[in-house]
Structure 1
């Protein structure tokens, strides 16, 4: 949240009281009917909130009385459009705060603006030497303001040998091509990049070659952009719209995709192991259904996933039912893949624009004033009690109270465990070291003490999977070792 100079936070609370916010006790995620956007089409891609209660919205926004769409508007505390904000806004896509300024995705490139909407002239990648924007993708902002941008773009740096189309490109915090980095190529555009805690990035792209090496649709690169060959995730059809890395190396991928050469056995949300295999401890076959929204061809789409409480995730997209239960564009899935009761019967309503029916949630954000916002392409929001048909594109909700909300049953974390046990097919070995391991392995031995499987544990936390169908039925010992010392032994029964 941005703090606007000269506007005290007490004034924000006063404004909320004048508007009716907080006058009566509200339940978490009740819709705030005092906030309604003053436009009727087309969509909002991203928002940021200011500490005075205003909201910056980026997308394609048709202001009543104007002939063309704006790419960004600032909304006042009641949702109406702030007339003092510049009509020409360099936005449209993802907004990322940095210091007292904002990075924005604008067309195929990235711009930087001030909080008043004026362009920051100290950052400019348009028309600069060596770079020509072509196909837009994603971007990541480093703490010092440098940019990693994906997509497919032309480079003209013949001095350093970067000429032609490149798909992962580094820029300085002034918008110039970073001539100290090795820019990377793929056989197709890279549309999503998700930073990991260890400095790596998970990427989704349309090609099957990266830096001369084969990759699946989702692949992992090191901090310098070189390929991490320990992950191979073969998406053959469709697209991953959102990737959520987990601290132990696993990750969620949301979208509409398949491991087949076509729309067969479509997956919309799945959790993957660090090596790119599906995580068998998560339900990777959750059913998302469009309901009354006309099917454009391949059914519902999950567009965004973000962390929630206690290991669960908030899942957003274009759908009206999840596993047959009413959830309109927003739901919470627990850490095993089970649908929770949150947002039961709630969500956004559909609307039609230029012959296409929308009804999607694209994001969620909490502010510092105890409120939460969702945004996307929709008309109306139903919180289960109030059906506010006048909601449009950005909706303010009363924020969550995680201290009193219903939580998943707490599970005491074990340092090492085996699941399921007994096992007939896949078995998962879970491990959680307090420090980085050194030459750590899971060793499986049969009743005679012979090693039948040895798997390295490369990270502090993780899960390893073994196919027990290759083993003879019986009892096995599972040893967890680190630096030659045995730390723990489990008994595994194979049926």
Structure 2
């Protein structure tokens, strides 16, 4: 009897389980089909480009029945609706719109729409030869004589010229290659980061980076002096064996990477970067077998050094004559240095001390490299300063990983007065959702910031933003679609911006491959009113 009752209970339990887990109609009771509220036609926009305030018609379906919940967005900015039917909607291009895809939202549904180019006052010059450009990063550009420019970086060709442009080239004012510069022979074996003009009538150049030869000449240690035609400034020396050897005219350089290069009025050369030693080759040695031998004499200098015009070590600059080495200097990397008009130098990076004294990531140095105590930055930056730039009035704009400077909340960007104190008249709001790497100024005082970010404040922006002098977003210089980085870019797309003298235009160089969704291989010309 007990066994019978147990079997009945077991069968009842199995029946109950079956009833709970199997649907009688085979459908999932939790599945709900959600149909799209609207549709937008592919290429369904007319016209395909226009200015802020222009009217644009978008074609699709379902607009009228969803009009109370429908929003049209130009790169995230909501447009005012002028009129609509079920198949068309007429809107005005909103202020702060930028080139990119138009989108729509209906409640929580999001719809991608067609591409629309917003025409503005900060525009790419499509007649400039950006399409070919450089086949690798451009790290620096400087104006030189006759309206030309010297460009350096990690490229091997420029504008498709059929001979090598190994990381150093000179271009004409119109962007074409200057074929009188360094024909077939110029260049070095790795990245060149900076360039400068040498004072004097000979119009020579200095280039710096992380290389160890130039034109195949060895022991050219991260710094090379170039003749005006692009060839290495060199000498012939006689070795102990009686053979001759071509060597650089500069006596020495550094072992490591130069991040910043400054040439003083007297020809003195200031270098900062990621290096520890000044090196000078000694060619007058022989091996135990009586063969010619070379030795690199080295002196510790800790990330900063001043050289004499001939490349010798200047022992009057932050140097310990007793220990025969550079003084302690910064206890971290110098990311950026600025040579000031009075001969002093501003340095910034990830260091917290200079010659043993606390200086949180920024300091001003006297002309002899000693710390200037009149520069008072208080608590300084709470994280690394990546870059800085000096305005014409002496104020300094800083960018980096910091959130506070001198105890003031300033997310990733701040402006300080010449004495190091935060300038309260500058306010960039909540800033970007990424990081800035380059800062430049326009003649009107506007600030150009570039880096790796997709949003600034409440606006969607691709790696570039133009601000007013007070930190607010410029109302008309931000309609372009921004910059697209090359696949191998490791930092912000713009490395340097130079204004073209006497013109309302500028040249941008860096690691980008597109500007405003147009091909632009690491160089572009921008025009503005």
With the shorter chain as reference, the TM-score category is 0.5 to 0.7
Q: Distance in 1 between matches of 2:464 and 2:257?
A: 30
Unaligned runs of 5+ in 1: 1-25, 290-299, 402-495
> What residue in structure 2 maps to residue 72 of structure 1?
168
Please say if residues 303 and 330 of structure 2, whose CA atoms lie closer than 8 Å, have aligned partners that are also in contact: yes
1:181 CA drift (Å): 3.6
With the length of structure 1 as denominator, give the TM-score of the two structures.
0.60
Query: Which of the residues 61, 71, 96 maps onto 2:196?
Result: 96
For 1:307 and 1:215, locate their aligned partners in 2 and report how far apart those are by CA, in whole Å. 27
How far did 1:229 drift?
2.5
Post-superposition offset of 1:214:
1.6
2: CA distance, partners of 1:65 / 1:28: 30
1:338 Cα offset (Å):
0.9
Q: Which runs of 5 or more residues in structure 2 are unaligned?
A: 1-119, 212-221, 236-246, 281-297, 320-326
Residue 257 of structure 1 aligns with which residue?
Answer: 402
Distance 1:169 1:325, change over 3 A: same
Alignment pair present for 1:114 and 2:227: yes
Paired position in structure 2 for 1:35: 129
**Cα distance 1:50–1:107, how it changes in 2: closer, same or farther (>3 A)?**
same
CA RMSD of aligned residues (A): 3.7
- Looking at structure 2, the residues matched to 105 and 210 of structure 1 have their Cα atoms a distance apart, in angstroms, of 24
How far the C-alpha of 1:46 sits from its partner, in A, is 1.2
Q: Which residue number corresponds to residue 4 of structure 1? A: none
Q: Which structure's CA Rg is the greater one?
A: 2
Matched residues in 2 for 1:369 and 1:82: separation?
21
1:431-466 deviations in Å (ceiling 9; x for gaps): xxxxxxxxxxxxxxxxxxxxxxxxxxxxxxxxxxxx
How many angstroms does 1:186 deviate by?
A: 2.5
Counterpart secondary structure, 2:440: strand
Alpha-carbon distance change, 319 to 115 in structure 1, aligned in 2, over 3 angstroms: farther
- Deviates most, 131-140 or 372-381: 131-140
Find the aligned partners of 1:267 and 1:41 in 2 and give their Cα distance: 35
Deviates more, 1:212-221 or 1:146-155: 146-155
**Whole-Å Cα distance in 2 between the matches of residues 309 and 213 of structure 1?**
37
Counterpart selection for 1:229 from 340, 350, 373 = 373
CA distance in structure 2 between the partners assigned to 1:27 and 1:258 by the alignment: 32
Superposed displacement of residue 51, structure 1 = 6.0
Contact 1:348 1:378 in 2 (8 A): no
Query: Which of 359, 380, 388 lines up with 2:514 in the alignment?
Result: 380
Tell me if the contact between 1:201 and 1:223 (Cα under 8 Å) persists in the aligned partners: yes
Is the 2:437–2:491 Cα contact (8 Å) retained in structure 1?
no
Distance 2:485 2:460 in 1: 18
Deviation of residue 375 (structure 1)?
1.2
Q: 1:375 to 1:163 in 2, by over 3 A?
A: closer
Is it true that 1:147 corresponds to 2:293 in the alignment? no
Mapping for residues 310-459 of structure 1, pairs under 5 Å:
310-346=444-480, 348-354=482-488, 360-368=493-501, 370=503, 371-382=505-516, 389-398=518-527, 400-401=528-529
Aligned residues: 348
Query: Which whole-Å CA distance do the structure 1 matches of 2:416 and 2:223 have between them?
Result: 30
The CA distance in 2 between the partners of 1:133 and 1:96, in whole Å, is: 20
Please give the alpha-carbon distance, in whole angstroms, between the structure 2 residues aligned to 1:357 and 1:147: 28
| C-alpha distance 53-209 of structure 1, shift in aligned 2 (>3 A) | closer
Per-residue deviation, 1:216: 0.9
1:60 to 151, 154, 166: 154
Please state whether the residue corresponding to 1:216 is helix, strand or coil: coil
| SS of residue paired to 1:392 | coil
SS at match of 1:42: coil
Offset, 1:193: 1.2
Query: Structure 2 vs 1, CA of residues 48 and 105 (structure 1 numbering), >3 Å: closer, same or farther?
Result: same
Q: Scaled by the length of structure 2, what TM-score is found? A: 0.57
Identify the residue that residue 138 of structure 2 maps to in structure 1.
44
